[in-house]
Structure 1
Amino acid sequence: MSASSLVPVSLAGIARVAGVGRAAVSNWRRRHDTFPERIGGSDTSPQFSLTEVEGWLRDSGKLPDGHERELLWLRFEALGSRAEAGLAIATSATAASATTASPRPASAARMTPPDAATAELSAAAAALGEKVGRREIFEFLLRRWLEINARQLSATPPPLASLMTWMALSAYSPDSDRLTVLDPACGTGHLLSAAADLAADGYEDLTLLGCEIDPAQSALATTRLDFAARAAERSAPVHAAVDIRTADALREDPWPVSNADIALCNPPFSERDWGHDELATDARWTHGLPPRTEPELAWVQHLLAHLKPGGTAVVVLPPAVAARKAGRRIRGSLVRTGTLRTVVALPPGCAQPHGVSLQLWLLNKPAVGTAAPQDVLFVDASHHIRGTARDSGPDWDALSQHVRAAVERLASPPSQELPARTVRVPVIDLLDDEVDVTPGRHTSAGTAPAPGELPRTWDELRATLERIGRLSETLSALVFKGAGSTPTVTVGDLARAQALEVRAGQQSADDSPAPESVLARPLPMLTIQDLLLGEAPRLAVDPAEEHTVAEKGDVIVVGVDRLFRTWVHQDEPVALGPQLYRLRVDPTLLDAHFLAGCLRAPANRRQAGTHASSSSRIDVRRLQVPQLPVADQVRLRASFRDLADFDTMLEQVHQQGKGLIGELSDRLASGDGLAAASAR
């Protein structure tokens, strides 16, 4: 029996294979007697046979181009544990390329021999790789694997990996055409892959060294970097070597004498059991023994110990490392010796944990006989955020431009003008009782923004106002027949008619993500608190348990009066917490965007609100919707979308205006605007 015949698949998995929303799959199941029978799961989360589903989709003409990738991934996902699936992906890619690729340097990331199921998957991956490319298939499977394990693994996003690599290379002065790059906590190889891409054109000999304690990630990094090395060799005259070791880099240093030119690292945060006692006399602690509560400073010194004189390192650190009292002695030594060259404050969302404004530290191992630098460059780039509170994230283009412009000034005379929110602070001014190297502490005082900063901000505000003007013309042209001209129906009536399904969110069993042994595939859980703070979901839940999960195309309703809103979910699946509701429509009877637009009307909130307590709630089933044919609903949803865009732009104007007020206030209060005020 083929392994695929035993693979279970959920409604969400079927939707991904078919390239439709989950609501469409539920509709197929309800309307077609030939749809495969459930083989497991529950009534709300049924499981089906992948083989039967694939056959039904093919016979029904519902398999889109490119469906083979999703089918292949579902078979890997069904292997069970995170480690087993990860090792199978790495093994299958290695087996698929073994007969055509040139031998690579041996790595310590050994892979176990494949069993029958993995061997079958390897053959399937090889066959698909021949059609679309082996590296493309591997990268697709790796991306899916990382997505479902996002709560357990810390991956460095590609834009951040590229920025870190650029910083390290720009501050490094090469003395040969050979480059050795080290990442002692490499995960699946994001940073080393970025280094292979950026460094290939400038060097004839490139060596990528990595270490990872998790065998699955180590194996995946080996395969990924082998692909990257081959690509580098094809695109430039460079010889690339890869060596990934599986080990605890702090306790079992696999390269005690290696000399790296640059080092990149996104180390694990807040690990108390990092080997403090057993490593107390380690020779790497040249700036002082890291306190038990400062594992990040152990990683910093580990990087420095592996750099050759003149080498550079860039490391991602939590903001507390810059100011905690326990680490001030080590920070003082890093500053005094000229080792710490730049600290960059990043906006939230650049990497895990996404709710924290992380920092980048650029370090240099001083060469013998060179004078120590007399200042440290601080860059506050934490304001480069795009979008609104409901859809925010780093503005990578603006962030990269700001950091690059600032770091490029590192080798310039101190008198040279710096970008906005950037300052060079003399070493002597940092060596006080705190040795606080938090960028915001130094850039907030006495830092003159760049001359072009205010004009650009005004231009952004004017552009938003112009878009608002165009939308206002469109919306003001709408002509209405009069209130009450169309009969309405409540959400409760629509649910009874099976035009939609209403499900309420549930309370999470715990206030923190469950351990890996419990969560095979964790789902983020959206809560009222997340919406209040305007942050991404903080909690994760086990999808094997009963939860209300919103899929792409579902309508989400907030059942609290002061936060009342509705929207069509467009992202990855998310579990809903208390006072949040999922409305899943039958697309043949209701348009989701039309429904969300009608439900968010203030009149709906007023008539469906309950005022039995000081915390008013919304009775979702009492919300009303006009009774219109689907064709009319589709025509109306464009106006609802314009109205939603209008609301978003008004919020952007508010945020841009508040930013301008703060910037102008700072300038006027500092005396910077005295000449301008005198000219009025």
Structure 2
Amino acid sequence: MRSDSTAPPDRGREWSAGTDPLVTRREISDWAGVSRETVTIWQGRHADFPRPVADGAMERFRLSEMLVWLADRPVPKAQRRAGEPDGITYADRMRRATRLSANAGPRQQADHAAAEETLTEIFGPLGRRIRGGGSEAAYLHFVVGLLFLRHRDPASWAGLRDDVRIATDEQSDPRQLMRRLGRRVNVGRRAQGLPSAPEATADTFSALGGPAVEDVGQLIRLCEDLPPETFRDLLGRYDLWARPDGRSSTTPRSLVDLMTALFVEPDSNVHLHDPYGRAGELLVGARLAGGSGPLSAAGPDPDMCRLAEMGVNLHGGQVHLTLGSETPWLGAPGPFADLILTNPPFNASSARRPDERWLFGPPPPGNDNYAWLQHVLASLKPGGLAAMLMPNRAAASDDPREQFIRQRMIETGAVEFVVALPRRLFATTRVAVMLWGLRAPGTARDDVLFVEVRGPGPIVDNQRRLAAAEIDAVTACLRLWQTQAGGTADLAEVMSKVGAARAVPTAQIARLGYSLDPAEYLAPATSLDCLVRVPSCPATALADQMHAAHTADEKAAGIVLRSGDTAISGDAAADDLPDGWSRAVLGDLCAIQAGPSNQVIKKIRSSAADGIPVVLPRDLQDRRIRTDSPQMVARVDATEMTRFALREDDILFVRTGTVGPVARVRAAEADWLLGTNLMRLRAHEGVNPGYLLALLSSRPAQEWITRRAESATAIPSISTKTLGSLPVLLPPLAEQRRIGAVLSDLDDQIAAHRALADAAEGLRAEVADQLVAGLLITETLSEEPR
């Protein structure tokens, strides 16, 4: 980024593209319009305040981290300057002062982390201010229009920036500016050969609630840096932000990737059609997957159609779009396509007319799922293929009309495969969906492939995403089945790590009432191989855990305690303490380090198996670190995180959220990294780590911590300074060691019995599965049941 002719206060500097300047507390206070004391208070009060970076003898802060932190802090009304709009944040002030990204050149290869931060700002307080009383869809249209101009019409983009500069200088009516921007988008559309509706676009933009001109300028500067590929990310963020209904939401990106991986061949010149085009995300996905044939789509929403046209154009394609309806089967058939990819509205309803023509029969009037299925099949050329997302209920509904249509689809070979997918793939609903693979009706098939994707999978922003491994496995499974290169065992092996698969004869499907629910055919079955896992005397399977628990019990039984000679109260004088004991505060006993900000961790997060584990609050259990799948960060990027590295005997403490849980780092976790929302306590010389753990886990200390954490902010949180002021008693080192040893033995006992209980629970599940399946038979019981 580069400064313009107006230098920031007290300092003129030129920053090259891609740098992240370090700024002082004085610069932060000057640019944010607050006192230096306020910056100091922020730093002391908020545990997630950015960490300073040593710069010679002075502490500085990364400008990008300060902007992210300040973006959630609006300027109070009483402190706003003349002309500042409602909702302006301290980050907005800093950007104006520093002229961030002004005149920045295009960055076609902007890194993912930078783009994510930009999108967060676009759909944050800035977006809410610009939207005002307008619709979320109008705001999305505006942002996509800016992205379109930025990359497809440089001349209009330059003129747009001039429009904003003039409007800012003259402080003109923002609505006039928005209408002007709408006309420029239409000029750009005409230049690309797209249909134009200048007044409609101008009206859409001018309805965005009269935003401040400065906010529009900031949005334009943000869009300056976004590559065309961001179009798909904009749609995903829009769904999370606006929560549109099922008719106007978009298809999640990982579902698009699955559908195109299964059906789009690179350089294939087939005609692809989407009869319910939404924002064109499936068409764009096909282009990115290498499809080069003609594209067409229809949709009932003209604004969504315009988004689809711009999205495809941003990716170097053209689409023939027609304004359709939510009941396209009522119109003339066509266009006929080689391939259809679509995500129609689920469980919609429409009336039935006596003159309707159907391939297999009229669907029930209360649900259009089978109307859509038949419309898609009727729109295919001979031999054409289709992929349709359908709600789960469509696969096994008991309505006789839908059951008959399923029967006819199977008898004519129209159903090739069905993939059951996990819940929560959509931002707007938790409903589970299935992907149906269809073929133009013709000759009956011998079998249908059923696939199920199981397991937890990645969750981002509370939304399940299909992992690349899951998409690859489903694709490989389908290819194996299509080429008849493998049997049932091979299909199951391909899907073994992410789900299950089986090719089912159509005769068996008929016996089950023509259900197309994969759960009917992929129900977990207990194999004969399981017999070797359960001994005839089940208790012997727990021998190791029982021995470990017995050993821990014996060790704990050797602990002998006696009453102290002095009862210590909170206000006892020093003379009343046992010999060698003293009063202190926690900060005197150890060095306290807060974990890095979440933004820092997100930038270096990795799924690589050779990364470095990061300890999270959820990993602290029973005063130990317990995790089977720790979050990882890239090893090469973690070199800058050395001050957050863990050593054996460090004590970890949860500082935000559910404040209070503690754990001791063992040798196996040395060199792992401290995570966000945690603190690390490293004992000073003369302090035993086991005693430090005892102090923090004691009930009086936990109550003291809880009271202060809950009074600090809306979300319970405690700072390093506050935790360091915890009053403690310090016995002689020898007694510290004895206290630590006693509690360590008790923790070992708890851990051993926890492991025994977990193993017993697993054994019980195995025995139950095999008993009810008839694979195991009861022989001798400890006593006869009554």
Number of the residue aligned with 1:149? 242
Quote the Cα distance in structure 1 between the aligned partners of 2:365 and 2:581: 71
Quote the Cα distance in structure 1 between the aligned partners of 2:759 and 2:409: 38
1:244, distance to aligned residue in structure 2 (A): 2.2
1:199, distance to aligned residue in structure 2 (A): 3.3
Q: Structure 2 residue aligned with 1:208, among 284, 288, 295?
A: 295
1:486 matches 2:585: yes
Quote the Cα distance in structure 1 between the aligned partners of 2:222 and 2:69: 32
Q: Report the AA paired with residue 335 of structure 2.
A: S
Report Cα offsets for 1:642-666 as digits up to 9, x if no partner.
xxxxxxxx99999999899978987
1:218 matches 2:305: yes
Report Cα offsets for 1:498-543 as digits up to 9, x if no partner.
xxxxxxxxxxxxxxxxxxxxxxxxxxxxxxxxxxxxxxxxxxxxxx
Quote the Cα distance in structure 1 between the aligned partners of 2:699 and 2:234: 47
Check whether the contact 1:185–1:265 (CA below 8 A) recurs between aligned residues.
yes
RMSD value, Cα = 5.7
Check whether the contact 1:156–1:190 (CA below 8 A) recurs between aligned residues.
yes
Number of the residue aligned with 1:286? 359
Number of the residue aligned with 2:448? 376
When residues 658 and 136 of structure 1 are mapped into structure 2, their CA distance, relative to the original with a 3 A threshold, is farther
Number of the residue aligned with 2:343? 266
1:289, distance to aligned residue in structure 2 (A): 0.9
Q: Report the AA paired with residue 160 of structure 1.
A: L
Number of the residue aligned with 1:431? 510
**Structure of larger gyration radius:** 2
Check whether the contact 1:129–1:135 (CA below 8 A) recurs between aligned residues.
no
Give 1:433-472 correspondences, 5 Å limit: 434-444=513-523
Number of the residue aligned with 2:382? 309
When residues 377 and 603 of structure 1 are mapped into structure 2, their CA distance, relative to the original with a 3 A threshold, is farther
When residues 308 and 593 of structure 1 are mapped into structure 2, their CA distance, relative to the original with a 3 A threshold, is same
Quote the Cα distance in structure 2 between the aligned partners of 1:220 and 1:121: 25
Scaled by the length of structure 1, the TM-score of the pair is 0.56
Quote the Cα distance in structure 2 between the aligned partners of 1:439 and 1:212: 31
Number of the residue aligned with 2:139? 85
Q: Report the AA paired with residue 434 of structure 1.
A: G
When residues 433 and 28 of structure 1 are mapped into structure 2, their CA distance, relative to the original with a 3 A threshold, is closer
Number of the residue aligned with 2:568? none
1:346 matches 2:433: no
Report Cα offsets for 1:244-293 as digits up to 9, x if no partner.
23321424767723111111112212222xx3324x5323x212211123
Report Cα offsets for 1:381-426 as digits up to 9, x if no partner.
13353579x9783451332133122211232337463224211111
Number of the residue aligned with 1:463? none
More RCO (CA 8 Å, sep 6+): 1
Number of the residue aligned with 1:643? none
Quote the Cα distance in structure 1 between the aligned partners of 2:772 and 2:146: 63
The answer to which of 123-132 and 316-325 deviates more is: 123-132
1:242 matches 2:319: yes
Number of the residue aligned with 2:279? 188
1:374, distance to aligned residue in structure 2 (A): 1.2
1:629 matches 2:721: yes
When residues 393 and 90 of structure 1 are mapped into structure 2, their CA distance, relative to the original with a 3 A threshold, is closer
1:366, distance to aligned residue in structure 2 (A): 3.6
Check whether the contact 1:341–1:377 (CA below 8 A) recurs between aligned residues.
yes
Check whether the contact 1:167–1:404 (CA below 8 A) recurs between aligned residues.
yes
Quote the Cα distance in structure 1 between the aligned partners of 2:295 and 2:425: 24
Report Cα offsets for 1:178-234 as digits up to 9, x if no partner.
31111122211221111111133xx5xx11212222232222111111112x1xxxx
When residues 627 and 111 of structure 1 are mapped into structure 2, their CA distance, relative to the original with a 3 A threshold, is closer
When residues 669 and 143 of structure 1 are mapped into structure 2, their CA distance, relative to the original with a 3 A threshold, is closer
Report Cα offsets for 1:302-347 as digits up to 9, x if no partner.
1111111111111111111111111211111111211111111111
Report Cα offsets for 1:329-378 as digits up to 9, x if no partner.
111111121111111111122235653332111111145xxx42111111
Check whether the contact 1:107–1:244 (CA below 8 A) recurs between aligned residues.
no
Quote the Cα distance in structure 2 between the aligned partners of 1:482 and 1:405: 68
Task: Tell me the secondary structure at the aligned position of residue 147 of structure 1.
Answer: helix
Check whether the contact 2:74–2:88 (CA below 8 A) recurs between aligned residues.
no
Quote the Cα distance in structure 2 between the aligned partners of 1:127 and 1:609: 46
Quote the Cα distance in structure 2 between the aligned partners of 1:277 and 1:442: 34
% same residue: 20
**Unaligned regions of 5+ residues in structure 2, if any?**
1-49, 51-62, 105-113, 156-187, 534-579, 588-653, 663-675, 681-692, 726-752, 777-786
Report Cα offsets for 1:531-587 as digits up to 9, x if no partner.
xxxxxxxxxxxxxxxxxxxxxx994459xxxxx999xxxxxxxxxxxxxxxxxxxxx
Scaled by the length of structure 2, the TM-score of the pair is 0.49
1:59 matches 2:115: no
1:593, distance to aligned residue in structure 2 (A): 3.9
Give 1:359-374 correspondences, 5 Å limit: 359-367=434-442, 371-374=443-446
Report Cα offsets for 1:18-76 as digits up to 9, x if no partner.
7558875687958x997648978xxxxxx3458x9744554379999979874785664
Q: Report the AA paired with residue 135 of structure 1.
A: P
Number of the residue aligned with 1:581? none
Number of the residue aligned with 2:256? 161
Quote the Cα distance in structure 1 between the aligned partners of 2:101 and 2:278: 35
1:336 matches 2:399: no
Number of the residue aligned with 2:627? none
Check whether the contact 2:409–2:441 (CA below 8 A) recurs between aligned residues.
no
When residues 61 and 196 of structure 1 are mapped into structure 2, their CA distance, relative to the original with a 3 A threshold, is closer
The answer to which of 404-413 and 115-124 deviates more is: 115-124
When residues 261 and 670 of structure 1 are mapped into structure 2, their CA distance, relative to the original with a 3 A threshold, is farther
Q: Report the AA paired with residue 423 of structure 2.
A: P
When residues 55 and 402 of structure 1 are mapped into structure 2, their CA distance, relative to the original with a 3 A threshold, is closer
Task: Tell me the secondary structure at the aligned position of residue 187 of structure 1.
Answer: coil
1:483, distance to aligned residue in structure 2 (A): 12
When residues 213 and 391 of structure 1 are mapped into structure 2, their CA distance, relative to the original with a 3 A threshold, is closer
Task: Tell me the secondary structure at the aligned position of residue 290 of structure 2.
Answer: helix
Q: For this pair of structures, how many residues does the alignment match?
A: 481
